[in-house]
């Protein structure tokens, strides 16, 4: 339940009752694609037993593309992974600027300037060399996030006398709806981490059960949070729901969220730079494996996230675009294609139809979300 769950009430504002259905449908589809992705790691041996022959998302992509183009699978997966991770970092900077701007409205500083101030605190990220430091920072995020959600939910429950289902739209704008689809998809994306997660489980046989329960609980929590927040503020629901809180709570909660955003930034940043650095230094070029070069890669990526945050300072639109591009690809498109490619002969007709349907649905949602998100950004800049 990352910081981007704060955009779900805003998604409900633009999707109405269908948004509730989408949150449930996205959970079911993400759970399904997670299972078929993991099944691609296994092959049957001569005795009919399943043996884990692949370890990562890249290994699955390689197995699918080895006859067509040996390196195509790695390129597609790595580009998609890095894009999603970098977009996540950009979102953290955008939301940091937003939170600071609303926490200190009496200071005559623009939201972009606040993003730059937040960026300065992240400069030490260029010196992170191991995951050990990142893991310690990430542990604090869970605690902070729990406090934030608890405060928002408690306040919403105190306003239950104002709730009205009439706040839900029966008619929706199709373009806004597609942006909401991207936001909802992005809040569920986890496929990048599933192969590593399953490989490190004490009992991998419990993976499917674990996936069922985690997606069920995530669906319940997201629906409850989004619904209570939207019923509280209705048409006044803002992109980041904490902006709706009264001033005596808003500053406290926003500073907690700012802390969470800044502590969350190093994990996707570290993962993205490690992927890029590993790809560049695979050859025998010693210059590409020097500490100075690694420092340059991290510094370049850090600067890139700031520049992008300056150009696209809109949380919901950027989140929708990210979900539509990389979220849909990693969550729906690639798992279904890989499963059909590797398991075609062993799949039943129903399973083939299911995979094909997921791919078509993911493709349409992705295409529509991309067009509408970009159009929305152009209108904002225009």
Residue range 37-82, pLDDT digits in tens? 999 999 988 877 889 998 888 888 888 887 777 677 778 788 878 8
Give the domain range for residue 291: 4-381
The pLDDT of residue 268 is: 84
Does residue 337 register a pLDDT over 60?
Answer: yes
Q: What is the mean pLDDT of the segment spanning 293-305?
A: 84
The pLDDT of residue 272 is: 84
Q: Token pair for residue 248?
A: 């005596």
The pLDDT of residue 151 is: 87
pTM of the model: 0.77
**Cα separation of 269 and 267, whole Å?**
5
* C-alpha torsion sign, points 267, 269, 274, 279: positive
Q: What is the mean pLDDT of the segment spanning 152-166?
A: 86
b or e along 136-162 (b: 16 or more beta carbons within 10 Å of the residue's beta carbon)? ebeeebeebbebbbebbbebbeeeeee
Q: Look at the block and give the residue holding tokens 């609980």.
A: 217
Q: Give per-residue pLDDT as tens, 313-334.
A: 565 566 666 666 677 778 888 8
Give the residue among 105, 175, 116 at the shortest CA–CA distance from 324.
Answer: 175
Overall domain count for the chain: 1
Give the residue among 32, 37, 34 at the shortest CA–CA distance from 340.
Answer: 37
The pLDDT of residue 70 is: 67
Q: Give per-residue pLDDT as tens, 263-293.
A: 888 888 888 888 887 777 665 454 555 777 7
Q: Look at the block and give the residue holding tokens 């639109």.
A: 317
The pLDDT of residue 146 is: 81
b or e along 230-245 (b: 16 or more beta carbons within 10 Å of the residue's beta carbon)? bbbbbeebbbbbbbbb
Residue 212: pLDDT band with limits 50, 70, 90:
very high
C-alpha distances in angstroms, 210 versus 2, 135, 162, 221? 19, 22, 38, 16
**Cα separation of 176 and 173, whole Å?**
5
**Cα separation of 251 and 103, whole Å?**
5
DSSP designation for 159? T
Report whether 8 contacts 222 (CB < 8 A).
Answer: yes
The pLDDT of residue 36 is: 95
Tally the residues of the chain.
382
The pLDDT of residue 316 is: 56
Give the residue among 249, 244, 248, 218 at the shortest CA–CA distance from 232.
Answer: 244
**Cα separation of 255 and 154, whole Å?**
18
The pLDDT of residue 170 is: 64
Q: Return phi, psi of residue 47, to 5°.
A: -90, 5
* CATH code of residue 117: 1.20.1740.10
Residue 147: pLDDT band with limits 50, 70, 90:
confident
Q: Give per-residue pLDDT as tens, 344-366.
A: 989 999 999 999 999 998 888 77
Q: ∠97-225-177 over CA atoms, to 5°?
A: 75
The pLDDT of residue 29 is: 92
Does residue 174 register a pLDDT over 80?
Answer: no
The pLDDT of residue 111 is: 82
Does residue 367 register a pLDDT over 70?
Answer: yes
User: Bigger pLDDT: 227 or 274?
Assistant: 227
Q: Token pair for residue 181?
A: 């689809």
The pLDDT of residue 223 is: 92
User: Bigger pLDDT: 113 or 133?
Assistant: 113
Q: Token pair for residue 223?
A: 């629906």
Does residue 175 register a pLDDT over 70?
Answer: no
- Which residues does residue 78 pair with via DSSP β-bridges, in sequence order? none
Does residue 257 register a pLDDT over 90?
Answer: no
**Cα separation of 292 and 274, whole Å?**
14
């Amino acid at each position: 339940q990352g910081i981007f769950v704060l955009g779900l009430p805003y998604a409900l504002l633009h999707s109405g009752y269908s948004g509730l259905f989408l949150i449930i449908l996205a959970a079911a589809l993400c759970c399904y694609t997670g299972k078929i992705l993991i099944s691609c790691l296994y092959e049957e041996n001569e005795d009919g037993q399943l043996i884990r022959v692949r370890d990562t998302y890249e290994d699955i992509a390689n197995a699918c593309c080895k006859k067509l183009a040996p390196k195509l699978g790695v390129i597609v997966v790595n580009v998609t992974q890095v894009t999603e991770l970098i977009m996540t970092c950009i979102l953290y900077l955008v939301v940091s600027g937003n939170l600071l701007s609303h926490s200190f409205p009496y200071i005559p500083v623009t939201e972009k300037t606040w993003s730059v101030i937040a960026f300065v605190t992240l400069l030490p990220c260029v010196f992170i060399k191991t995951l050990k430091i990142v893991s310690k920072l990430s542990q604090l995020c869970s605690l902070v996030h729990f406090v934030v959600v608890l405060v928002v939910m408690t306040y919403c429950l105190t306003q239950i006398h104002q709730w009205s289902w009439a706040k839900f739209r029966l008619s929706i704008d199709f373009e806004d709806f597609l942006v909401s689809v991207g936001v909802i998809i992005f809040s569920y994306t986890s496929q990048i981490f599933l192969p590593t997660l399953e490989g490190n489980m004490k009992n991998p046989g419990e993976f499917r059960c674990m996936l069922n329960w985690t997606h069920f609980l995530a669906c319940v929590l997201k629906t409850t949070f989004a619904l209570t927040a939207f019923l509280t503020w209705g048409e006044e629901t803002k992109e980041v729901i904490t902006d709706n809180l009264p001033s005596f709570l808003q500053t406290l909660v926003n500073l907690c969220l700012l802390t969470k955003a800044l502590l969350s930034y190093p994990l996707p940043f570290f993962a993205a730079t490690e992927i890029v650095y590993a790809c560049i230094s695979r050859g025998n070029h010693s210059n590409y494996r020097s500490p100075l070069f690694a420092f340059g890669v991290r510094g370049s990526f850090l600067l890139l996230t700031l520049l992008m945050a300056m150009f696209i300072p809109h949380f919901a639109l950027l989140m929708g675009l990210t979900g539509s591009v990389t979220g849909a690809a990693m969550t729906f498109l690639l798992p279904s294609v890989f499963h059909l490619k590797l398991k075609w002969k062993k799949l039943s007709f129903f399973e083939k139809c299911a995979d094909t349907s997921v791919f078509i649905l993911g493709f349409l949602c992705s295409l529509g979300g991309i067009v509408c998100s970009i159009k929305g950004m152009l209108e904002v800049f225009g």
